Amino acid sequence: MTARPLDVLVAGRVPYRAALEWQRSLAQERLDGRRNDLLLLLEHDPVVTLGRTAASAHLLRSDGIDVVEVERGGDVTYHGPGQLVGYPILDLTAYRQDLHWYLRSLEEALIDALARLGIPAAREAGRTGVWTGGRKIASIGVHVKRWVTWHGFALNVTTDLTAFDRIVPCGISGVVMTSVTREGGRGTGEESVWNRTIDAVIAGFERAFEVSAHRVEPAPLPA
């Protein structure tokens, strides 16, 4: 059986609002049948995003950075430099029309990726995301329209973890955030860890979703 194709767009640093419109545009192309499934990988300038269930009390301060309300599930989160953000745009009718399965599969892809970096990671009962040693290393929040997904995950790689002091991450009081570098992920130097993490995440997606990934050149951002 031939694995489903997965296009991977590695886009570098893209401002959050521009990336939001970009993924909405890509999702519409997937809905229209004009694209394969794809995984958009990038990082953002500092931004706080508020999901559909975000509580205002969980934004402690913004420090002047952008705050954006979005359609994804979940509470409040932070994105910034050194954090690998992934937006899978998948048509779940070709997999399973089951959001619980999809969330657990995203977690599995990231757990697999972290294992490749030498970091033992796991789920935590009753909570969405990925954890290591009781510390949260990846957050997940998704949106689905007619079974096509967008939004996705944020994996801390070389992130300045003090940036999370602005918020109650994902609305979980007392949570300790961590990163690939904090946990001693394999690699020598920031760039090496970053590139190894991208490769590991792509491999994790191939295994968790039973797809065949190949990198393609990013399309221009919508005007």
Q: Is 74 left (phi over 0), alpha (psi -120 to 50) or beta?
A: left
Q: Nearest Cα to 139, choosing from 124, 150, 151, 128? A: 128
The angle subtended at Cα 29 by Cα 25 and Cα 32, nearest 5°, is: 135
Q: What Å distances lie between residue 145 and 29, 39, 96, CA to CA?
A: 12, 17, 14
| Antiparallel, parallel or unpaired: β 148-156 and 83-89 | antiparallel
d(CA 163, CA 89): 28
Please give the positions annotated as active site.
170
